[in-house]
A = this chain, B = another copy of it.
Amino acid sequence: MTATAEDPRWLDDGEMRAWRAYVIASELLRKQLNRELQDRHGLALADYEVLVRLSEQDGGQMRMAQLAGEVASSKSRLSHQIGRMETAGLVRRVECGDDARGVFAEITEAGRARLRETAPTHVAGVRAHLVDLLTAGDQTALAEIFERVLDHLGHPEH
């Protein structure tokens, strides 16, 4: 049976319990990780995530449209964010004249240095607030659940 907007199948108690715990904890976790990076380094989590994605690419570059998909941002919001990060010297925009699909973002040396300096804070937070709370079974369950979501939403990663 397909759920439609006209005939919703509301969540039952067990489904609601799982969904609410997940959605609220996920938001609190992001907020906490963001606060730790802001307080210790003056860096937003969203900016940290852009630096990570770019640093993993050959040449430290990624097409803006692809980067928007990777960090789940709208193109206009990402464009604003990359503008701020460019002013801070962490990335630069590169236009490729021979490519109609447009503009790339590229991590700078200062951006890579910023990432190296802040990564220990981020990984300590990820451990303290999630990873170190998981049993081995939880860890596998978490990977399998969200790899299924990635497959379903059509993301190429993993």
Contact = CB atoms under 8 A, between A and B. Distances in A.
Contact of A5 (B14, B124, B143): B124
A120 B2 CA distance: 13
A29 B27 CA distance: 13
A5 B121 contact: yes
Contacts of A40: 5
A58 interface: no
A145 B155 contact: no
Nearest to A46: B27
B72 A27 contact: yes
- Chain A interface mostly: helix
B153 A25 contact: yes
A3 to B, nearest CB: 4
A80 interface: no
Contacts of A5: 40, 120-121, 124
A84 interface: no
A149 B133 contact: yes
Interface in A107-158: 119-121, 123-124, 126-134, 136-150, 152-153, 155, 157-158
7 contacts: A5-B40, A24-B70, A25-B149, A26-B146, A31-B72, A133-B149, A138-B141
